[in-house]
Amino acid sequence: MQAIILAAGLGRRMRPISDDLHKSLVAVAGTTILGRTLDALSARGVRDITIVTGYRAADIRAFVAARGIPVEFVHNDRFLVTNNIVSLALALDAVTLDTDVVLVECDLLFDPAVLDPLFDGRPGNIALVDRWRPGMDGTVVSVDDGVITHVWPPHLQGETFDFADKYKTLNVYRFDRDFCRDIFRPLLSSYANFVDGDAFYELVLGMLVNMKRHTIRAEVVDGTRWAEVDDPNDLAAARFTFDPTARKPLLDNAFGGLWNYDVLDFAFMRNAHFPTASMMATMRQALPDLVRSYGSAQPVLNEKLAWFAGCSPQRVQVLHGASQIFPLLEQTGGPGLIPHPTFGEWNRAFPHAATYADAPGIDLQTITGGGPVVFVNPNSPTGTTVPTSFVHDFAARNPGLTVIVDESFIDFSDEEPVQSLLEREPLRNVVVVRSLSKSLGVPGLRLGYVYSCDESLVNGIGSRLPVWNLSSPAEFFLELLLKYRRELDESFRRTIADRADFAADLKDVVGTVYEGGGNFLLVHMDRDDGVADRLLAEHRIYVKDVSDRFGGGTWLRIGVRLPDENALLVRALQ
């Protein structure tokens, strides 16, 4: 068996990293991309290796020389104006095709086990593939009964292209010696030299497959680690995959963006039963029009929100996520009174505020005036829920005091929202803040609002908001909500039931679990053994460690996901 590694490309998508470093020499988990490939091939007994160079060829040669591995080099001196079809054609012209050929591109990270299907002794052409997932780009294929039936290069993936049943090629192949010598090499050379040198070699493979003249078997690398590193985002994802020690700092500093990582997220709370599949299909269909359209002005958004929230549009301002309100709360005065512990934005909004303890559990007698009083109801991370009647009565007894109520999790509790009570019994000194990310399950759309019966305060907040304060997809989702009220209510009931089952299962493993009124649980363990780090490193499960907000042992805030996913976390803790 012989191997060809394509490493001629400029790596434009990897800039600025690739400005001074060939992308195959980027370090990941203690080695380089190229080094990992060479080691995997050597471990398989492959000694006949050819590397096609172009950009920063001297760096590649120096790296290989330092490793002491015998390698032949072929140089593509037209790497600036050609694509990989020319590089592969040059390599096949240069090698003696007396054995089968393993082809690997230089920007691929993989575990050595990924190569197993190429060395199983079965004859024929093989392409390594995996199920397509969002974030993957490049050539995809259709597979039927283990054989590639159609090849779709990027230029054939139009706006309505359906990726649902497609597979992504890893750009790792094994080609039969006779196929390479008699079919692939002459066709590749002709196309590269006389038709289009700026094409991908997959185009020629696609021609052969689509004509049904030659068979390429598809081997799905399910369950083995691999990552294609085309750009800095890919590099971050690859480091997450291949370096377990880098996972927690990476996620803790990101505060989101988890679609890039293979992780089961229990740290950020959302309604796992909403939106419905029908809603997501509608969003997907509308997306092309939405991303090309401006959203509506704030008064229109407020009216659409009011239809959903069941309140007067003069009493609300739609927010680009509830966090948008925190810099605008300075007009309510200070320093205030907030629960401890609580959501960190409240500490930043009122850095000099006094606190009342949530142990978990709040002694309501400790809540007094002296500035804006904040109720986070239910509170995070404890889940403690204060009776809505107490909040309303407290505000009524203290008309000169601003009462701010964060009701982002109220739909998962047994309490009526104070906003609903205010619609019947208005109080001008209450400000309600709602993040809709948790209850609607769409944190990526950044939906929230602020509500008050004091319309002058509401107008003052509105005057400080930008003209286009919501994206068009977020506004469209607001419109959809009116058609799915029943499904939304059912999602709350299902989440509450899942929460109870999840809490019972966790108690059997960890002991102390505070269920509360949110779509999350607070877990306390006496030991302090880095369990959150271990869950992420060993199981790719991400939980929120909130131990610094309490005293003694380990405290974890764990979001409620779907039952099967909750069970995975329980088993991991066991």
pLDDT tens digits for range 86-139 = 888 888 888 888 888 999 998 888 889 899 888 887 888 998 998 888 777 788
pLDDT beyond 70 at 331: no
| Residues 41 and 19: beta-carbon distance below 8 Å | no
- Type and span of the H or E element at 478: helix 472-481
Domain boundaries, the chain: 2-237, 247-272+487-573, 277-483
The CATH number assigned to the domain with range 2-237 reads 3.90.550.10
Which of 226-230, 248-252, 408-412 has the highest mean predicted lDDT (pLDDT)? 408-412
The CATH number assigned to the domain with range 247-272+487-573 reads 3.90.1150.10
Indicate if 277-483 has the same CATH topology as 2-237: no
Amino acid at the residue 85: I
What percent of the chain shows pLDDT beyond 90?
49
Segment 20-79, tens digit of pLDDT: 889 999 888 888 999 999 989 988 888 889 999 999 989 999 998 888 888 889 998 888
Segment 413-430, tens digit of pLDDT: 999 999 999 999 999 999
Fold of 277-483: Aspartate Aminotransferase; domain 2 (3.40.640)
Q: What is the pLDDT of residue 332?
A: 60
Q: What is the pLDDT of residue 328?
A: 80
| Residues 167 and 156: beta-carbon distance below 8 Å | no
Of 454, 521, 520, 532, the residue nearest 244 (C-alpha): 532
What percent of the chain shows pLDDT beyond 70?
99
Q: What is the pLDDT of residue 247?
A: 85
| Residues 36 and 69: beta-carbon distance below 8 Å | no
Residue 66 sits at the vertex; the CA angle it makes with 63 and 71, to the nearest 5 degrees, is: 70
